[in-house]
Amino acid sequence: MSSPFSLHGRRAVVTGANTGIGQGIAVALAAAGAEVLAMGRSSMADTLARIEAAGGTAREVTADLSPPMAAAEVIGRLWDEVGPLDILVNNAGIIRRADAVDFTEADWDAVMDLNLKSAFFAAQALARHALAAERPAKIINVASLLSFQGGIRVASYTASKSGLAGLTRLLACEWAARGINVNAIAPGYVETNNTEALRKDAERASDILKRIPAGRWARPEDMGGAAVFLASNAADYVNGIVLPVDGGWLAR
């Protein structure tokens, strides 16, 4: 009997898969059987090696996703040249830190363009092709605890991730009856480049750790199981959720 969590025969695009959460998700999807298209602007060599070592299949797709239509264009090209895409993980994201009174327009635009605008048009591109081909699809957005909370010193990041949660619900409502599931994962505090500055600030790092019921920061691979679930048939009736994978942070 095949497992409802199996991703055999599925093709998955994971953006920003060279490191961190994107890498953790890419490896987990590949281990569940998906062919992974690891998309981003940096070399995917490490991710491809990890997937190969786990017996999975992956290829690298080079793209700078900051221009908001770039991901959409690449998705269209991949669909035509490689074949239908079943899963999209909108993971690539950046953060800029400054007090709100000092926040610059450049730091606002850079974060919103990649984290929100590019993610929307990537989802739209996948949906256009999937709907036209009458194929089901799964879209997973990587949201944040700052989809639920305010945070400090990260105005554009909080705006982008709160926006992404709203967009996840809107797209789920529009596409649920047409075979496209749109959901999000909200990682807690994960040991990646994104949180390097926080982890170097001894006081903030210790305050954060004290509040995590699980008693440790997350590792990128902690996000894999939720991604496999939301990408699989096991989640066929799951639409528009933002699933915290946070060691209990929001339960506190």
Contact residues for ligand NAD (CB under 6 A)?
A: 16, 18-22, 40-42, 64-66, 91-94, 114, 142, 144, 187, 189-190, 192-195
Q: In the bound complex, what is the minimum distance in angstroms from residue 145's beta carbon to ligand NAD? A: 6
Closest to 119 measured CA to CA, from 145, 148, 96, 88: 88
Burial 199-214 (b: 16+ CB within 10 A, else e): eeeeeeeeebeeebee
Q: What are phi and psi of 66, to 5 degrees?
A: -65, -45
Looking at 120, 121, 157, 249, which residue is catalytic? 157
d(CA 126, CA 4): 23
Q: In the bound complex, what is the minimum distance in angstroms from residue 166's beta carbon to ligand NAD? A: 16
Q: Across the strands, what pairs with 58?
A: 36
Q: In the bound complex, what is the minimum distance in angstroms from residue 171's beta carbon to ligand NAD? A: 17
Residue with smaller CB distance to ligand NAD, 94 or 112: 94
Residue with smaller CB distance to ligand NAD, 16 or 56: 16
DSSP state of 67: S
216: left (phi over 0), alpha (psi -120 to 50) or beta: beta
Angle between helices 155-175 and 119-133 (to 10 degrees): 10
Residue with smaller CB distance to ligand NAD, 57 or 193: 193
- Measured distance between the N- and C-terminal CA atoms of the chain, rounded to whole angstroms: 39
Q: Across the strands, what pairs with 35?
A: 11, 57
Q: In the bound complex, what is the minimum distance in angstroms from residue 22's beta carbon to ligand NAD? A: 5
Closest to 234 measured CA to CA, from 1, 14, 3: 3
Residue with smaller CB distance to ligand NAD, 34 or 154: 154
CB-CB contact of 88 with 130 (8 Å): no
157 is catalytic: yes
CB-CB contact of 131 with 178 (8 Å): yes
Q: In the bound complex, what is the minimum distance in angstroms from residue 134's beta carbon to ligand NAD? A: 30
Residue positions annotated with a catalytic role: 157
